[in-house]
Structure 1
Amino acid sequence: MDYLSPENKDFKKTLVALFLGSFIMYADLYSTQPVIAVIAAQFHVPPAAASLTLSAATGALAIGLLFVSFTSGMFNRKKIMMIALLSSALLTVAVGFIHYLPLLIAVRFVQGALLAGYPSIAMAYVNEEFDKRCLGYVIGIYVSGNSLGGLTGRLIVGTFSDVFSWNAAIGILGGLNLIMCILFVAMLPKSRHFDSKKASLKRTTVGFIENIESPPLILIYCLGFILMGGFVTVYNYIGIPLMEAPYNLSQTVVGFIFIIFLVGTFSSTWMGRLSDHTSRSGVITLCLLLMIGGLVTTMSAPLFLKIIGLALFTFGFFGGHSVASSWVGILANRREKAQSSSLYLLFYYVGSSVVGSVGGLFLQSFGWAGVVSAVSFICAIGVVLSFSVHRMVMVGEIHHHRHHQHGIAGQHI
């Protein structure tokens, strides 16, 4: 059977479905992020404690992804994604009726665990169903759904929380996502290249070992940790200094700052396409340097410079994540692509939970400068990791070429 390519009639429909799924997931997952300051004030807790409403979800997602990595070959791809998105949307509606912080954190934990059924399966679906020549572009479209979903969810919650309450705002978001779930199910074709396998502890364990014993893959997983950890930390806490003097912005205005995510919609697709034709390491390094430059710019006092800095930072993040995601699919063993995708996302969301929570301590102790310093430092580590992956891949290709040439010479002898 042919793989999906721009010439195929189902190509655009499948892209739209994957975009919608990505949109739903990220709108739900980060629904409490724009109101962390409001939750902290309502429940009389510090921002780092209020951020647990996000960290609990991303932490549970990371744990769930580990489970998915061992079971992804057993079940129908489309059904798993459908169940994950539908259950998440229903729980987002339920959050609209919760007024007790420990229960809110618990529900968000369950929601994160259920959402684990979408991202790695979607990435595996892309790697299995699409032509390899357009993989960077397709992943870029998928990641652009992340940025638009995150943007729309934050705008809805940030705006309606001022008009009604943060609970009602999140409940409204859940209702919209339920409608999009129906569209997702209707538009996504069934897998044509997925061969369902019976559970085999031996096969799964061997695949897991292959994925964690590959030095280039491990370093890309660590890049995911750095990218997402830094990104979530910045957006978890940027609203706090902006709602204080001298800016004194309202919750609605802070919510509209997330419109900056639109640059991610462009950068994920553009950087993904660029990486199809040039060095992936070079593109990721450029993205990380843009993140650092953007962070330093946010230290400026004028509000417009802070916004420009956030835009640069966001542009770099979405581009870097898009390229790193597709790189995992290219380097992974074809039989265990879902598992390698799960492991990448496991590191990615552990970064969100760990760095996102620790970032609150830096804010508490050193102010916004502490957040900027911590995230810039890990981004600099990311640059080193990116060059290291490139070098390992190049050395591996040279060895493979020499081995192939040696085999041909032996045949001639």
Structure 2
Amino acid sequence: MQPATGGAFDDQPSGALPSPILRPAAADATTTAATGDLRHLPGSRGLRRAQLALFGAGLATFLLLYSTQAMLPALSASLRLTPAQASLTVSAAAIGLALAVIPVSALSERFGRTAVMTASVFTAAGIALVLPFAPDLTTLTVLRALQGIALAGLPATAMAYLAEEVHPTALASAMGLYVAGNSIGGMSGRLVSGVVAGAYGWRWGLASVAVLSLLCAIAFRVLIPRARHFRPGPISPSALLRTVTSHLRNPLLGRLFALGLLFMTVFGAVYTVMGYRLVGAPFGLSQSLASSIFAVYVVGTFASAASARVTGRFGRRGTLYLAIGTTSAGLLLTLPDSLPLALVGLVLITAGFFTGHCVASASVGRTATHGRAQASALYLAAYYLGNSLGGTLGADAYHSAGWNGTVLVALTAMALAVAITLYGTVHARATAGSRIVAAAR
């Protein structure tokens, strides 16, 4: 594994500023319950409850966030929408989450992690219960945007809760189960809504997701242990703005945010449009059968788990190039009108996306010298804006130029990712050379 300050994006971080909403780091990992550290230890009942609760929260988040993506063809047929119009129901939720993730997650510093997560998941599930009754696209899109804003209280807050309440020796496994909930939720939300929509219509598809997400919300509230290490503190908007601004001025973080956006642009474009391609000529699959391709999403779980080992072998730069190459190869494989090739291509795209996302997101945490919660929130904002951008541009391109147009949008995003990574590589080597010369003097 490369050191935290080296690699493809080795810039000097921006000057350290005190975080406006983060307290000092928790007790050292060597402390135990006997010495006053009451965080949940491996194998403890509290840890199991926290893991299951946040697994349910992650499941609910991604059940809801992508609930309309698999049923877009059914939505288009029912409401007489173009692919670009229907894709707004996906983009609106992603934009809402992206814009709200920083301010909403900051509220947890004042009102508590558990309170914000509970309000977030139940509000989002409540909106989900109303979605099936939306009379038109405008109403549906507005409700989806509000749902995205509600969901913004979960991602960053859940990670902060785990960091505070779980002992460092158990943190990796707890975080892994939370991420697994995200992955499974993303897959099952698309599968359930798509299959039910194919059999009974899009309104019933949304209703099925609403019921599942409400059950997950209830399970979260019942299981989540009381926070024992949280201490409320004031929220300073001016200090928060200074921290966010300093991150945005950091060239290294800026490149990492851009990479997250670009990888998600590809993912959003492909998964938004693939359903339309499979139900249309020459494939002609049913809505339910076309939705089953989202089972490929499970590849992301394995790719995420393997990314650390790959990075340890090839370094962050090598792993990013590998992720970009894998994603691009998958895009090219989907071009022929061949269902087997399309499925293999989708597997490669998914594996490449998750690998690139894992490297970029992990590098943000290593790079930020202050305000790590805000740095992570900015990455998430760029990530979900990329999802919205990819869905919209990919659907527009498909409407005007077919699947080849969507692939062109995605390959353009990967070309930009290559340019950013190459720049980081050249800059890192130039910086290393300057340090060697300076040391020799």
Task: Assess same fold via TM > 0.5.
Answer: yes
Look up the equivalent residue of 1:348 and give its one-letter code.
Y
Matched, 1:384 2:419: yes
Matched, 1:356 2:387: no
TM-score, normalization: structure 2?
Answer: 0.82
Q: Which segments of 5 or more consecutive residues in structure 1 lack a partner in the other structure?
A: 406-413
Distance 1:211 1:400 in 2: 24
Distance 1:263 1:367 in 2: 26
Partner residue of 1:366?
401
Distance 1:207 1:401 in 2: 32
Q: 2:291 aligns with which of 255, 269, 283?
A: 255
Partner residue of 1:219?
255
Partner residue of 1:337?
372
Matched, 1:208 2:244: yes
Say whether the 8 Å CA contact 1:68–1:339 is kept in structure 2: no
Distance 2:434 2:179 in 1: 33
Aligned CA-pair RMSD: 3.1
Moved more, 390-399 or 317-326: 390-399
TM-score, normalization: structure 1?
Answer: 0.87
Aligned pairs, how many? 404
Distance 1:190 1:390 in 2: 45
Distance 1:332 1:373 in 2: 34
- State the Cα distance separating 1:211 from its structure 2 match: 1.4
Distance 2:154 2:145 in 1: 16
CA change 1:69–1:83 in 2 (3 A) is: closer
Q: Secondary structure at the residue paired with 2:110?
A: coil
Say whether the 8 Å CA contact 1:136–1:276 is kept in structure 2: no
Matches of residues 119-268 of structure 1 in structure 2 within 5 Å? Answer: 119-126=155-162, 141-191=177-227, 194-268=230-304
Distance 2:260 2:253 in 1: 11
Say whether the 8 Å CA contact 1:216–1:393 is kept in structure 2: no
Distance 1:204 1:397 in 2: 33
- State the Cα distance separating 1:389 from its structure 2 match: 4.6
Deviations 1:25-75 (A, max 9, x none): 111011011111111121112110111111111111111124336545333
CA change 1:20–1:275 in 2 (3 A) is: farther
- State the Cα distance separating 1:278 from its structure 2 match: 5.9
Look up the equivalent residue of 2:216 and give its one-letter code.
M
Look up the equivalent residue of 2:131 and give its one-letter code.
V
Distance 2:118 2:309 in 1: 28
Distance 1:194 1:56 in 2: 33
Matched, 1:314 2:350: yes
Q: 1:53 aligns with which of 89, 99, 108?
A: 89
Moved more, 355-364 or 383-392: 383-392
Q: 1:297 aligns with which of 333, 336, 357?
A: 333
CA change 1:117–1:2 in 2 (3 A) is: same
CA change 1:18–1:275 in 2 (3 A) is: farther
Moved more, 146-155 or 276-285: 276-285
Partner residue of 1:77?
113
Q: 1:347 aligns with which of 365, 382, 386?
A: 382
- State the Cα distance separating 1:151 from its structure 2 match: 1.0
Deviations 1:186-226 (A, max 9, x none): 44445566553202233212211221122111111111111
Distance 1:210 1:84 in 2: 28
Say whether the 8 Å CA contact 1:60–1:112 is kept in structure 2: yes
- State the Cα distance separating 1:117 from its structure 2 match: 0.9
Distance 1:276 1:188 in 2: 34
Distance 1:392 1:128 in 2: 36
Distance 1:188 1:319 in 2: 30
* Identical residues among aligned pairs (%): 33
CA change 1:222–1:6 in 2 (3 A) is: farther
Deviations 1:379-401 (A, max 9, x none): 12213324545666788899999
